[in-house]
Structure 1
C-alpha cells in the first residue's frame, strides 16, 4: 500500500521522536478507519513505537473496546469533545505498552453532516500517561480524502506535541 509522501515523512519524524523519548503509541480511530496507525506502521522500525490500534467506527465498538461511557455517547453523540477524550483515555488504559494515545472521531463525508455537526467536523484528543489530555476541534474543507488526510496530519502533530510532556 502506498502512503502519501507527506504523510509518510510526518510518520517517520514522529517515529524517530518517540523512539528518542521512549514513547509508545496507541490509536483509537473512527473517521480515519485505521489510517493513522497505517501511516505509522508503514515506517521501518515502527514496532518499537506502535503498540496497537483500535478502529472503533460504531458506538458499540467505542463503548465495548475502549470503554467510552454509554452516557457520553447518548448525551453528546460520537462526534464530540467528551467522546474524543474518552476514546484517547480508554485506548491508553487498554493498550498494554502505550504511553500515548490519540483518538479521532468525525464526519468525513460526503454525507452524515448536519447544521450542528457539519461534514468535515473532527474532534481529536491525545492522552499521555501522567499528562493532561489534549483536545482539538477542527472543521476541515474538502472531500472525504481531504478531511481524513488533514485529520491524520493533526493527529501526528498532537502526538508530537505530547511527547516528553509531563503532568
Structure 2
C-alpha cells in the first residue's frame, strides 16, 4: 500500500496514481499538507524542524515521509516539499528547489534535492514525474 505526503504538488501525485485503474488495490491515501500547521497536524513534522530548517529541507521531507507511514496503513511512502514559484525563492533555495523522499515501512528514508526549471506548472509536473520514477525504483528493489 502507498501513501503520499505532498506540499508543493498539492495532491497531484495522489491524482496521478489514482488515474491508474485498480489503484484501489495498492493506494492507501494522499495527504496534502501545504502549511506548517498541516505538516505538523497531519504528518507529525516537529515545529522545531520547520523553524530551524524551513519547509523546504531534507529534515522536513524526511519527517513528512516518516509521518505519512506512521499516520496510515501504507507500507511505502513518498513525500515532496518545494518552491514551485513564481515567488518564494531565496539565493539558498531558488524557485524550482524540491526535496523528495521515499521510504518503506521499517526502512530508512532516501531523500534527494532537485532543481527544476520552468514556470510553476512545469516545476510541479517535473516533481510528480521524479517522485513517481523514484517510487518505481524503490519498488524494484
Q: TM-score range by the shorter chain?
A: over 0.9
Alignment match, 2:83: 107
Alpha-carbon RMSD across the aligned residues, in angstroms, is: 0.9
Q: 1:83 aligns with which of 44, 57, 60?
A: 60
Are 2:49 and 1:72 aligned?
yes
Q: 1:129 aligns with which of 105, 114, 126?
A: 105
Are 2:128 and 1:141 aligned?
no
Which deviations, in whole Å up to 9, do the C-alpha atoms of 1:42-68 show, x marking residues without a partner?
111010111001000001000011101
> When the two structures are aligned, how many residues end up with a matched partner?
141
Q: Kindly report which structure 2 residues correspond to 1:147-158, keeping only aligned pairs within 5 A, or say none.
A: 147-158=123-134
TM-score of the pair, normalised by structure 2: 0.97
Q: Secondary structure of the residue that 1:74 maps to in structure 2?
A: helix
Cα distance, 1:130 vs structure 2: 2.4
Q: 1:36 aligns with which of 2, 10, 13?
A: 13
The structure whose Rg is larger is 1
Measure the CA separation in 2 of the matches of 1:26 and 1:59.
19
Measure the CA separation in 2 of the matches of 1:34 and 1:77.
20
Cα distance, 1:157 vs structure 2: 1.3
**4+ residue runs of structure 1 moved beyond 6 angstroms?**
none
